Amino acid sequence: MTSPNRRLVVVRHAKSDQHQPEDVVDHDRPLSDRGRRDAPALGRWLAAETGVPDLVLCSTALRATQTWLLASAVFDEAPVMTERAELYAASPGTELAVVRAVADDVRLLVVVGHEPVQSTLTLALAGPGSSASALTGLPAGFSTGAVAVLEVDGPWDCLQPHGARLTRFAVPRG
């Protein structure tokens, strides 16, 4: 089998702080202490398992951007990160549309978002050749800080349901 053209890495933000003052809206919830410990572990896992991303698309929610900033600190040079408002409160279809719009020269794409979209999208994309062990934990959804790696053989704009192979699923902890 030939190596895949592209890899899509789907990430759920690390643990957020659930004990916020009443005037803090969901979008502005920061990471909890555990989230701040786990996000660098996510970065170390990515550095070891996938390498440096060509592009990171991140929800504008504070907990998502904090997750990526802490995770990306492990790389010698921070990967290009673009905040995308449509990834906050997205549907799986919206997130897939965002991925399909990525330039063809991007070979390793990371998308940092929220549940239940991250697990739903991953399950929808996982097709023939996916790892049974990677699929095992997904029906329960993504834990905070979870990451899935999918191999994509064609261009991003042609990505369809069941059009990728899920090869890894992990929940790195700090």
User: Which residues are CB-neighbours of 85 under 8 A, at least 6 positions away?
Assistant: 60
DSSP H helical segments within 62-160, as ranges?
62-72, 92-100, 117-125, 132-136
Q: What are phi and psi of 112, to 5 degrees?
A: -105, 120
**Closest of 142, 47, 146, 56 to residue 99, by C-alpha:** 56
Residue 152: strand pairing partners = 6
Per-residue pLDDT of the chain (174 residues; tens, 9 = 90+): 445 689 999 999 999 988 777 778 889 999 999 999 999 999 999 999 999 999 999 999 999 999 999 999 999 998 999 999 999 999 999 999 999 999 999 999 999 999 999 999 999 999 999 999 999 877 777 999 999 999 999 999 999 999 999 999 999 997
**According to the model, what pLDDT value does residue 3 have?**
54
CA–CA separation, 64 and 27 (whole Å): 9
Give whole-number Cα distances, 18 to 8, 37, 38, 42, 95, in Å.
29, 16, 16, 21, 25
Pairing relation of β-strands 165-170 and 6-12? unpaired
**According to the model, what pLDDT value does residue 139 have?**
72
pTM of the model as a whole: 0.94
| Domains of the chain by start residue, with CATH | 31-170 (3.40.50.1240)
**According to the model, what pLDDT value does residue 1 have?**
44
